[in-house]
Structure 1
Amino acid sequence: MKAATVAQLKKELQHRNPDELLQLCLKLARFKKENKELLTYLLFEAEHEEGYVNAVKEEVDQQFNLINTSSYFYIKKSVRKILRTLKKYVRYSGNKETEVVLLLYFCKKMKHMHPPITRNATLMNLYQRQLGYVEKKIDVLHEDLQYDYGQLLDQLKTTEP
């Protein structure tokens, strides 16, 4: 079965009544955890972006505390998993400022990890890639925000992990 385009779905949804739309949303939420998470964000947290960012930061803190630090192999797997989860939450928001804030927070957490990431090339490369990605994202923000987040980024860049 071939999936319909977004434009086709939009046209079809415009012809449905509110009860049918409600049933479709609930059915969609039943099938995938990501759909349910996105619907939760849109219904409950979209108006409170700062609270959402703080909740995501708390989850990142918890995940960093659970990392098995006995081997760099486990650290790499865990850090990649945390980054994947973080990117998923950023995708739900769609807000560029939220993305910058959360990625800067992730880099800060990586920088202060123990054992240090400087001893592992893969982790250092991941850290450097995220800093470069954040730098590109900062350029599309408002000038005042560019300055503020640019300073935070410079702090992360100048003092090596």
Structure 2
Amino acid sequence: MGITTYSLQTIRKELQQLDSSQISALCLRLAKYKKENKELLSYLLFEADNEPHYIESVKQEMEQLFKELPSRSFQAAKSLRKVLRLMNKHVKFMASKAAEIELLVFYGQQYLQYIDRHTSYKPVRQLLIKPLEKAGKLVNSLHEDLQYDHLPAFEQLVQDADTRMSWINKHDFL
């Protein structure tokens, strides 16, 4: 026999009936059992009010992982996936398209700086192409004012990728 999973609307109604000490106890119990829940709760309590600082700390962590990239293509692909998982986890916490674009552009810049431009290993190449495609879609889905803020950085990244990597065509992304 499985546990019944209720909808978010039902859970929201039930939570509204509880007092703050009961809600606090439930939150602590959730945080106790899964690391990601604890990280999300930590972000919401301590970091959400200063998103630019949080983005900078994520960038520093990503940069450190890029500096530690192995030289062999197979291990580099595994490490790049690790960087993307870390970035996606933090993006999920922030729930902001603008922050996601900023981190994707930073990822692309770091990729261009640390990855061998002559690599023929397709998974390593795809680990630049897919984030570029995702960033392009996100930029296009933003409001015009936000597009104006993020489009120059994205276009510069695509231009740099086109000049540095022979296997990138900027017309595929712009």
TM-score tier, shorter chain, comes to over 0.9
* Long gaps (5+) in structure 1: none
2:124 aligned with 1:123: yes
User: 1:1-161 maps to which residues of 2 (within 5 A)?
Assistant: 1-69=3-71, 71-116=72-117, 118-159=119-160, 160=162, 161=165
- Shift in alpha-carbon separation, 1:38–1:108, aligned structure 2, 3 A: same
CA distances 1:8-39 after superposition (whole Å, capped 9, x unpaired): 11011011111100100111111111001100
CA distance in structure 2 between the aligned counterparts of 1:32 and 1:117, rounded to whole angstroms: 41
Q: Which amino acid aligns with 2:58?
A: V
Q: Which amino acid aligns with 1:115?
A: D
CA distance in structure 2 between the aligned counterparts of 1:117 and 1:64, rounded to whole angstroms: 18
* Post-superposition offset of 1:117: 6.3
- Shift in alpha-carbon separation, 1:126–1:99, aligned structure 2, 3 A: same
**1:112 partner SS:** helix
* Long gaps (5+) in structure 2: 166-174
**1:139 partner SS:** helix
Flag as ranges the 4+ runs of structure 1 deviating above 4 A. Answer: none
- Shift in alpha-carbon separation, 1:60–1:46, aligned structure 2, 3 A: same
Q: Which amino acid aligns with 1:93?
A: M
CA distance in structure 2 between the aligned counterparts of 1:117 and 1:129, rounded to whole angstroms: 18
Task: State whether residues 69 and 76 of structure 2, in contact with CA within 8 Å, keep that contact through their aligned partners in structure 1.
Answer: yes
Task: State whether residues 117 and 123 of structure 1, in contact with CA within 8 Å, keep that contact through their aligned partners in structure 2.
Answer: no
Q: Which amino acid aligns with 2:158?
A: K
CA distance in structure 2 between the aligned counterparts of 1:123 and 1:152, rounded to whole angstroms: 22
Once superposed, what is the RMSD of the aligned Cα atoms? Answer: 1.5
Q: TM-score, normalised by structure 2?
A: 0.86
Task: State whether residues 117 and 124 of structure 1, in contact with CA within 8 Å, keep that contact through their aligned partners in structure 2.
Answer: no
Comparing 139-148 with 72-81, greater Cα deviation is found at 139-148
CA distance in structure 2 between the aligned counterparts of 1:87 and 1:150, rounded to whole angstroms: 21
Q: TM-score, normalised by structure 1?
A: 0.92
* Post-superposition offset of 1:146: 1.3
Aligned pair count?
A: 160
CA distance in structure 1 between the aligned counterparts of 2:102 and 2:136, rounded to whole angstroms: 12
CA distance in structure 1 between the aligned counterparts of 2:151 and 2:62, rounded to whole angstroms: 22
* Post-superposition offset of 1:65: 1.6
- Shift in alpha-carbon separation, 1:23–1:143, aligned structure 2, 3 A: same
CA distance in structure 1 between the aligned counterparts of 2:133 and 2:65, rounded to whole angstroms: 23
* Post-superposition offset of 1:119: 3.2
